[in-house]
Chains A and B, each alone.
Chain A
Amino acid sequence: MEIIIPIIVTLVFAATPILLAALGELVVEKSGVLNLGVEGMMLVGAIAGFAGQFYTGNPYFALLCGAMAGAATSIIFGFLTLSLSANQTATGLALTIFGTGFSALAGAPFSARPIQLMGPLFPAELASHPVLRVVFGYSAPVYFSFFMVFAVWYFLEKTRPGLILRAVGENDLSAHSIGYSVKLVRYLAVLFGGAMAGIAGACFPLLLTPQWAERMTAGRGWIAVALVVFASWRPFRLLGGAYLFGLVMTMELYAKAGGGPLSAIPSELWAALPYLATIIVLVLISIRRDASTNAPACLGKPFLPTN
């Protein structure tokens, strides 16, 4: 137990940003839009969250900064792909290139200046308890991510706006012809995805390493995109997928700390493992069954009503 509990706590922390970003991307893709700019939006959220914490010391305000910055970045994507019908794949890539550059520029004055990590949500008696901390030892974004898994599922499956969003993603022309605004629904989905990616990005300086580093999200945004495919667009499967990656990343941390059988493997292989695991997971999902059966039918296609 003494070994298991710290591992679980570490993996939950490591998985939370991926889970949050993937939940946002899931909703975006359900509306029929493929935004490959998650990594870029996360980086903008990360620097905004860092700056928020740096200047105010209020982590909730910092998370809000991350959400707003991510959503603001996603507007660029929304405008280009939805209003100007630009190619979604290329625009998403451009957004990631932009986010990488923008965050590096905005973050330049903050390098090597530490901030305060976000503390646990529950009082110290519970949060630092050797056993109970596996339940109570996390900060607010972790519990928020649990809540959002349920909320996204409930929204998509049980509410009327969720039904409309899925209809737009499955058949945009039909949804348009019965009077729903495809563009409005997709704009809102893209904004939600941007806000979630921004919060996910802000988690890096607030929860994991309390400083700003260029490209500190290190490809986690892309892993989030892959997770949505892995989870075949189902929120609860995202939870499992994200924790699987959390476990891989936790093993890397333990291997780097040295000792035990893990350190016999070169540290570089551990660092490459989350990316290789992503490929393996994508392969497994496609062997097991046709992963695309649950994919929204209009995913990635521009909406061009013939008026």
Chain B
Amino acid sequence: MLFRLEKRREPSQLMRYLTPVAAVVLTMVVGAIIFSLIGYDGIGAVREIFLTPLTNSYKWQDLGVKAAPLIIIGVGLSIAYRANVWNIGAEGQYVVGGLAGTWVALATHGLNGPWILPLMVLAGVLGGMAYAAIPALLRTRLNVNEILTSLMLTYASVQLIYYLIRAPWKDPMGMGFPQTRLFAEAARLPTILPGTIVHLGVPIAVLVALVAWFIMSRSVFGYQMRVVGTAPHAARYGGFSENKTIWLAMLVSGGLAGLAGVLEVAGPFQRMVPGFPTNYGFTAIIVAFLGRLNPLGVIFAGLVMAITFVGGEVAQTTIGLPNAATGIFQAMVLFFLLGGDLLVRYRVRRVHGAAAPGTA
């Protein structure tokens, strides 16, 4: 018995939404097998990483807090990737957004007022946009590949943190630690559920996704992004400027990454520290794909990746699984998803040798 692939006339919508689910399930099965083979408790690893964060209600607030930045960045990336603009430097835009917010928080230290936090958020968004504007400018003016430039800027942004918190922004009371002072109350993101760590960033993330979904599916902007991505020639014919699309895609994805950065620094961190770059910007790439580049899908995908983050920490303490295992599971999800894309465009037909050539 053989199988052969047959091109579908239309991409299968069912498969589009089924493959992300299948990718996660396959990751759990194959992950359990692989981790057992290399000498870990494979089934335990999968249970702790994928299920414990869901069944243990104490972990739900962690899920929300981890999912928020992933969703915000993932929404921006899904818009950019729709337009075939490969911004993979969201981590750097997240860092610069966080630094811009930190700058406002430090400059306003000692002042009080409800305007400080909005100003920080504005600075964060603008900081992320400005950092994303560099690859946008280089791509539109000089046709320099945005993948490499946005990624190189990410490495540079990490050094910028180290420099700022080692010298000009260093906490004078920090006993020599390279970090800024703790933000004043007015520069901290409030929690929305008393007694939990769930901060204002969580509802903001959901709101961002809903607004983005509405804009992408209902507005000319969304239409433009989708057309330029899927049919660049038709887009040019229809009068959509490719350069303008690149600019929009980079600014939106950079601005949202910057927003995530400032919300992180004002929320969970409350100061700038060397450990601020937490790979959210890279994991959000997986989130965007797993969410099928659809802002609503990104909400679910962000939650799934947040589960693996929280679960990875659980597995570290309960069964001694190194934290790096989380990255492997996340990459496996993306591998299975990308491989499964084949089923969106092709169907698998069974071929019974030469007996039934008519079915092929």
Interface presence of B15 (CB below 8 A): no
A304: nearest chain-B partner, CB-CB: B7
Known: A36-B147, A276-B152, A282-B145. A86 touches B326 (CB 8 A): no
**Chain A residues numbered 211-229 whose CB sits less than 8 Å from any CB in chain B:** 214, 218-219, 222-223, 225-226, 229
Task: Tell me the smallest distance from the CB of B320 to a CB of chain A, in Å.
Answer: 10
Q: Which residues of B contact A286 (CB under 8 A)?
A: 142-144
B92: nearest chain-A partner, CB-CB: A275
CA distance A104 to B155 in the complex (A): 19
Contact B147 A89 (CB under 8 A): yes
Contact A283 B145 (CB under 8 A): no
Q: Which residues of A contact B338 (CB under 8 A)?
A: 80, 84, 86-87, 90-91, 94
CA distance A84 to B324 in the complex (A): 27
Contact A101 B331 (CB under 8 A): yes
**Chain B residues numbered 274-326 whose CB sits less than 8 Å from any CB in chain A:** 282, 285-286, 289, 322-326
Q: Which residues of A contact B286 (CB under 8 A)?
A: 94, 97
Known: A80-B338, A90-B338, A282-B149. A98 touches B328 (CB 8 A): yes
Contact of A275 among B155, B162, B285, B330 (CB under 8 A): B155
Q: Which residues of A contact B285 (CB under 8 A)?
A: 90, 93, 97
Interface presence of A287 (CB below 8 A): yes
Q: Which residues of B contact A283 (CB under 8 A)?
A: 138, 142, 144
Task: Tell me the smallest distance from the CB of B136 to a CB of chain A, in Å.
Answer: 13
* Per-position binary interface string of chain B over residues 76-117, scored 1 when its CB falls under 8 Å from any chain A CB and 0 otherwise: 000000000010100000000000000000000000000000
Q: Which residues of B contact A36 (CB under 8 A)?
A: 147
Q: Which residues of B contact A87 (CB under 8 A)?
A: 338, 341
Known: A87-B341, A93-B88, A266-B167. A272 touches B328 (CB 8 A): no
Contact B163 A268 (CB under 8 A): yes
How many residues does chain B have at the interface if contact means C-beta atoms less than 8 Å apart? 42
Contact B339 A86 (CB under 8 A): yes
Q: Which residues of B contact A100 (CB under 8 A)?
A: 327
Interface presence of B151 (CB below 8 A): yes
Q: Which residues of A contact B332 (CB under 8 A)?
A: 98
Q: Which residues of B contact A225 (CB under 8 A)?
A: 148
How many residues does chain A have at the interface if contact means C-beta atoms less than 8 Å apart? 46
A102: nearest chain-B partner, CB-CB: B328
Contact B147 A76 (CB under 8 A): no
**Chain A residues numbered 103-119 whose CB sits less than 8 Å from any CB in chain B:** 103-105, 108
CA distance A283 to B326 in the complex (A): 36
B35: nearest chain-A partner, CB-CB: A105
> Secondary structure of the A side of the interface?
helix
Interface presence of A279 (CB below 8 A): yes
Contact B324 A272 (CB under 8 A): no
* Per-position binary interface string of chain A over residues 76-90, scored 1 when its CB falls under 8 Å from any chain B CB and 0 otherwise: 100110001111011
Task: Tell me the smallest distance from the CB of B130 to a CB of chain A, in Å.
Answer: 15
Known: A102-B328, A105-B328. A97 touches B159 (CB 8 A): no
Interface presence of A5 (CB below 8 A): no
Interface presence of B257 (CB below 8 A): no
Q: Which residues of B contact A76 (CB under 8 A)?
A: 335
Interface presence of A264 (CB below 8 A): no
**Chain B residues numbered 29-69 whose CB sits less than 8 Å from any CB in chain A:** none
Q: Which residues of B contact A294 (CB under 8 A)?
A: none
Contact A272 B341 (CB under 8 A): no
Known: A268-B162, A269-B163. A85 touches B342 (CB 8 A): yes
Contact B325 A90 (CB under 8 A): no
Q: Which residues of B contact A97 (CB under 8 A)?
A: 282, 285-286, 327, 330-331, 334
Contact B143 A292 (CB under 8 A): yes
Contact of A98 among B138, B335, B342 (CB under 8 A): B335
Q: Which residues of B contact A139 (CB under 8 A)?
A: none
Interface presence of B234 (CB below 8 A): no
**Chain A residues numbered 53-80 whose CB sits less than 8 Å from any CB in chain B:** 76, 79-80
**Chain A residues numbered 259-307 whose CB sits less than 8 Å from any CB in chain B:** 266, 268-269, 271-272, 275-276, 278-279, 282-283, 286-287, 290, 292
Residues of B participating in the A interface, judged by any CB pair closer than 8 Å: 86, 88, 134, 138, 142-145, 147-149, 151-153, 155-156, 159-160, 162-163, 166-167, 282, 285-286, 289, 322-328, 330-332, 334-335, 338-339, 341-342
Given contacts A84-B341, A266-B167, 17 further A-B contacts (CB under 8 A): A36-B147, A90-B334, A94-B334, A94-B335, A97-B327, A101-B326, A102-B327, A102-B328, A105-B328, A108-B322, A219-B155, A229-B145, A275-B152, A276-B156, A279-B153, A286-B144, A292-B143
Residues of A participating in the B interface, judged by any CB pair closer than 8 Å: 36, 76, 79-80, 84-87, 89-91, 93-95, 97-98, 100-105, 108, 214, 218-219, 222-223, 225-226, 229, 266, 268-269, 271-272, 275-276, 278-279, 282-283, 286-287, 290, 292
Identify the 6 closest CB pairs spanning chains A and B, nearest first. A101-B327, A104-B324, A98-B331, A268-B163, A272-B159, A86-B338
